[in-house]
């Protein structure tokens, strides 16, 4: 069992703000609940994660291409996809505090509490009862369970609950300026539907043959009721989704293939395999015939970072029915028309970002040679994801050292992101770069002028070595891509 670490989680949130990774949205107006902005290093890190995903899908697979569909879609899309009728969470309101809660979150919090008290078995059986009731859509049963457990509202402290009701998570707005002829449309709650409605456009224009995939990265919006836990659960977030179109009947093999492929991607980035696990869904979404989550041991516990879903032909079939347009594929090998089945891989970019910080954030303390204590906060971000790859630091601001440093900067900046800094002592500059997760720092000193060598410092081990100035670019380039 992985223990939660609330202090570490709080430390990550403060660090992310202090060092320009993530800010609360519109902070000068006291922020907007569950909406966040990414700062200079946050947007760079986010871009690197996005690129790793995008390239792993489109460049590394001959049979996957990308698209970039609009956020707004024809409103019928969401009837066909089932979101208008089904994209809702069971909620319960406390009559005293008027606060609304997702029932699964209330019960999970209770299970956490029991586990912390050492009642692991009771906690597990509570979760099992909840999953069973949810999969039976037994909302009266869920309410009884909440009452039987004596779960109280964290705000009012009472157990004065309403019945359990469904609450749709889509945001809606009006398209058109005059209210009479304006029609209600939704902000997409997932990027997947932009792929489904373009299925034939892409298949034909990119000359794709089943099996093939379409990848997309973009914003999605959900009116999450219990939006907390920093960027783990946001109302506006980014998804990286890939729909893989296959022959009907081959879904089991492809499902296993993508489970492995996606787990390999995570581990291949440099994250610890022991912090990952698969979690099969007990209650399947309305579109799925098999579904699994890839979970990560965040400081707030095991949580989903990615979902892999076998979606059958649910989406294409429904779009065909609602649009009246054929969405079929002619398989020349089988000499047969069919609606392809789909395996989806869906990962939250912001959640992957939080995972990266959770892995990376490290507080270190040690005793120096002179007996004094020293410490640092270092982000051990995998080098290929790090926002800054190389910091270039002239030891002093004179004697021609800044010129050598600038020259190195000029020769490297086209290959990777480097950062120049000449203020403060070298020790302070190293600490700042540790806090930003910069894997390498190069110091230009007087010896550099004489023999063309520099000191390169490694972030994780803090070791330093003397290398030829001319070798820096190639060395950093190689170890950060």
The site for ligand ATP (CB under 6 A) is made up of 190, 222, 224, 233-234, 237, 239, 304-307, 346-348, 350-351
Q: What minimum distance in Å lies between the beta carbon of 285 and ligand ATP?
A: 8
State the nearest-atom distance from the C-beta of 350 to ligand ATP, in Å.
Answer: 5
- Report which of 132, 134, 131, 114 is spatially closest to residue 123, judged by C-alpha positions: 114
Among 342, 326, 318, CA closest to 80: 318
Contact 193/221 with Cβ under 8 angstroms? no
- Our CB check for ligand ATP shows the closer of 161 and 230 to be 230
Judge contact between 338 and 327, C-beta under 8 A.
no
CA dist 249 and 48 (Å) reads 36
Q: What is the closest distance, in whole angstroms, from the C-beta atom of residue 69 to ligand ATP in the complex? A: 16
Shortest Å, Cβ 237 to ligand ATP: 4
Q: Which is nearer to ligand ATP, 22 or 436 (CB)?
A: 22
Q: Report the nearest approach of ligand ATP to the CB of residue 306 (Å).
A: 5
Question: Closest distance between ligand ATP and the C-beta of residue 131, in Å?
Answer: 13
Nearer to ligand ATP, 96 or 108 (CB): 108
Nearest distance, CB of residue 224 and ligand ATP, angstroms: 5
Of 233 and 459, CB closest to ligand ATP: 233
Are the CB atoms for 312 and 244 separated by under 8 Å?
no
* Residues 290, 309: Cα–Cα separation, whole Å: 6
* Smallest distance, ligand ATP to C-beta of residue 326, A: 28
In the bound state with ligand ATP, the residue whose beta carbon lies nearer, of 350 and 434, is: 350
- The least CB distance from residue 445 to ligand ATP, in Å, is 46
Asked whether 316 and 327 are in contact (CB, 8 A), the reply is yes
Closest Cα to residue 170, out of 217, 219, 221, 225? Answer: 221
Sorted by sequence, the CB contacts under 8 Å of residue 463 that are 6+ apart come out as 457
Kindly state the tokens that stand for 27.
Answer: 């902070």
Question: What residues contact 286, with CB distance under 8 A and at least 6 apart?
Answer: 82, 86, 314
Nearer to ligand ATP, 230 or 329 (CB): 230
Quick check: 22 and 42 in contact, CB under 8 A?
Answer: yes
Using CB positions, name the residue nearest to ligand ATP: 348
| CB closer to ligand ATP out of 237 and 271 | 237
Phi/psi at 321 (5° precision): -70, -45
Q: Smallest distance from the beta carbon of 58 to ligand ATP, in angstroms?
A: 19
Q: What is the closest distance, in whole angstroms, from the C-beta atom of residue 82 to ligand ATP in the complex?
A: 12
Strand order in the sheet with 100-102: 100-102, 88-93, 165-168
Place of tokens 């999970």: 108
| Burial bucket for residue 32 (CB in 10 Å: 0-12, 13-18, 19+) | middle
Residue closer to ligand ATP, measured from CB, 54 or 338: 54
297 Cβ contact partners less than 8 Å away, ≥ 6 residues apart: 2, 275, 276
Task: Quote the CA–CA distance of 67 and 87 in Å, as a whole number.
Answer: 24
Query: What's the Cα-to-Cα distance from 330 to each of 209, 222, 224, 467, rounded to whole Å?
Result: 9, 36, 40, 60
Q: Report CA 143 to chain centroid distance, whole Å.
A: 32
Which is nearer to ligand ATP, 105 or 406 (by Cβ)?
105
CB 218, CB 207: distance < 8 Å: no
Residue 182 or 267: which CB sits closer to ligand ATP? 267
CB closer to ligand ATP out of 339 and 349: 349
């Amino acid at each position: 069992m992985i223990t939660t670490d609330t202090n570490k989680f709080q430390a990550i949130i403060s660090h992310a703000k202090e060092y320009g990774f993530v800010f609360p949205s519109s902070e000068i107006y006291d922020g907007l609940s569950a909406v966040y902005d990414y700062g200079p290093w946050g947007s760079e890190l986010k871009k690197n994660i996005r690129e790793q995903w995008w390239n792993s899908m489109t460049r590394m697979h001959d049979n996957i291409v990308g698209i970039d569909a609009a956020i707004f879609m024809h409103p019928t899309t969401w009837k066909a996809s089932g979101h208008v009728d089904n994209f809702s969470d069971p909620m319960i309101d406390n009559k005293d505090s008027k606060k609304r809660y997702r029932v699964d979150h209330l019960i999970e919090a209770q299970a956490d509490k029991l586990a912390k008290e050492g009642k692991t078995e009771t906690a597990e059986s509570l979760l099992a009862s909840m999953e069973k009731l949810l999969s039976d859509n037994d909302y009266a049963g869920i309410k009884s369970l909440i009452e039987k457990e004596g779960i109280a509202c964290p705000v009012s402290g009472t157990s004065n609950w309403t019945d359990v009701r469904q609450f749709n998570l889509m945001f809606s707005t009006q398209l058109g300026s005059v209210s009479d002829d304006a029609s209600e449309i939704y902000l997409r709650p997932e990027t997947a539907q932009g792929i489904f409605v373009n299925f034939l456009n892409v298949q034909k224009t990119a000359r794709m043959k089943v099996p093939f995939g379409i990848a997309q990265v973009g914003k999605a919006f959900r009116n999450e009721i219990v939006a907390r836990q920093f960027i783990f659960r946001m109302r506006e977030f980014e998804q990286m989704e890939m729909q893989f179109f296959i022959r009907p009947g081959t879904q089991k093999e492809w499902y296993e293939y993508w489970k492995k492929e996606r787990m390999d991607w995570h581990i291949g980035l440099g994250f610890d395999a022991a912090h990952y696990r698969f979690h099969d869904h007990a209650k399947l979404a309305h579109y799925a015939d098999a579904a699994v989550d890839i979970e990560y041991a965040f400081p707030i516990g095991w949580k989903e970072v990615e979902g892999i879903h076998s979606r059958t032909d649910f989406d294409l079939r429904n779009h065909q029915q609602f649009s009246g347009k054929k969405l079929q594929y002619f398989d020349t090998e089988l000499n047969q028309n069919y609606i392809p089945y789909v395996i989806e891989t869906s990962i939250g970019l912001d959640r992957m970002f939080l995972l990266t910080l959770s892995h990376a954030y490290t507080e270190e303390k040690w005793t120096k040679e002179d007996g004094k204590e020293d410490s640092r906060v270092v982000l051990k971000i995998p080098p290929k994801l790090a926002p800054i790859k190389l910091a270039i630091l002239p030891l002093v601001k004179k004697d021609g050292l800044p010129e050598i440093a600038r020259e190195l900067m000029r020769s490297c900046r086209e290959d990777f992101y480097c950062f120049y800094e000449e203020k403060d002592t070298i020790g302070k500059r190293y600490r700042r770069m540790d806090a930003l997760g910069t894997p390498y720092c190069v110091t230009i000193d007087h010896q550099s002028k004489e023999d063309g060598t520099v000191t390169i410092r490694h972030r994780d081990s803090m070791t330093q070595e003397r290398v030829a100035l001319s070798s820096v670019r190639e060395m950093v380039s190689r170890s950060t891509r």
